[in-house]
Copies of this chain bind each other. A is one copy, B any other.
Amino acid sequence: MSWLSNLKMSAFFFSMVFAISTVATPKVGYSMEMHNFSPYVDKSGNISLPPDFRISMVHLGSWLIPEGDASGFHDVYTEAKTAIHYRKTGKFPDGATIVKEVREAKFGDYTTGKKVGYASSNIKLWFVMVKDTQGRFHGNQSWGDGWGWALIKTDDVNKNTSTDYKKDCLGCHVPAKDKDWVYVNEYPTLVAPK
């Protein structure tokens, strides 16, 4: 075998392995056919929870809400490539996913201080947003204003329990309307380190 065919084979296998590693997205528990712009959206626009997002995604930032209906420790995640894209362009790319996990907060006295708050093991629910720059799901009340909006409960990670994002989701995001509905200023990961 000549060095040239060796080289070509090397290039071929490199491309192949690179392609495999790029498209291999975990889909555990998914049975429906997915849309080609997001592995978490099926062809009719239903949004599922990204599996094991605490490992597969990066942390945008967290919130501790001490009381009220939304009380809890809120941890927010997105794809690494989405955060990098946002740092460069100030925009969320088509297909970007944002997951907010809401857990019951716990408070305790630690060596670092008193009444220290942190996330307990008790998950309350998840919010998922999927960026859609194309207006793909016209007429689907979970899609609009440039995003898909989902409220997912712990009994079924494949079911969006919200049927009208304007009623169930948008209200909380109105103050961030001019930042594409996301509280970007409170997410340190969207700024590159000095």
Contact = CB atoms under 8 A, between A and B. Distances in A.
Interface in A54-69: 54-55, 58-59, 61-69
User: In which size bucket is the chain A interface?
Assistant: 35 or more
Nearest to A189: B54
Contacts of A1: 1
Interface in A3-40: 9-10, 13-14, 17-18, 21
A136 to B, nearest CB: 27
A115 interface: yes
Main secondary structure of the interface of A (DSSP, over half): mixed
Interface of A: 1, 9-10, 13-14, 17-18, 21, 51-52, 54-55, 58-59, 61-71, 73-75, 77, 80, 83-84, 103, 110-119, 121, 171-175, 183, 186, 188-189, 191-193
A149 to B, nearest CB: 15
Given A9-B13, A52-B192, A103-B188, A62 B119 contact: yes
